Amino acid sequence: MRLHAVNLFALLVSALITGSAQALPADRDQPVQVTANTATADGKTGIATYRGNVIVKQGTLEIRAEEIIITTDKKGAILSTVSKGNPARYQQQPDPKKGLVTADAQRIDYDAKNEIITLTGNAKLKQDGSSFSGQSITYNSLRQQVDAKGDGANRVQLVFPPQARGDLNKKDGKK
């Protein structure tokens, strides 16, 4: 059960972490659209800050937050992103055969170099009836490690939908 939970979470979060790398092929070919009430960019530091009802779209990818800070290197490659909101929201369809992956948290941090995503503050991750929630959820895709933490009032929770009978028979080698 634990391995199944980690594999499910890894699948869900890898879609969230890698963004367009795991997205539908059509997503990668779409333009990135950003709308916000204000935007500032500093070419020397590589930091761009978008504030006020920020919406980022690229194909099926959609991020909504009150503030998104993107840090890039000198070549324009993304180093990190920080999305803040009440909550910040993410959705994307990484596979045409599966439903949308959705994530909500007060803060969503993405460290592109180390391929680590951290959802903080009432963190929730869902896809196809399965869900994972906790005060914070961190996923390291390089190490394939999940670290979820609750707080004194709320424990970590993982929910799986029941498997269809046909799926169970396939696993047992029955037809």
Q: How confident is the model at residue 53 (pLDDT cuts 50, 70, 90)?
A: very high
Instruction: Give domain limits for the chain.
Output: 2-171
Spatial contact of 121 and 108, defined as CB atoms under 8 Å apart: no
**169 has pLDDT over 80:** no
**148 has pLDDT over 80:** yes
What's the pTM? Answer: 0.74
In the CATH scheme, what architecture does the domain 2-171 have?
Answer: Sandwich (2.60)
Q: For residue 29, give Cα distances in angstroms to 8, 69, 70, 75, 123.
A: 27, 23, 21, 20, 30
**64 has pLDDT over 80:** yes
Look up residue 48 and give its amino acid: A
**What CA–CA distance (Å, rounded) separates 84 from 101?**
18
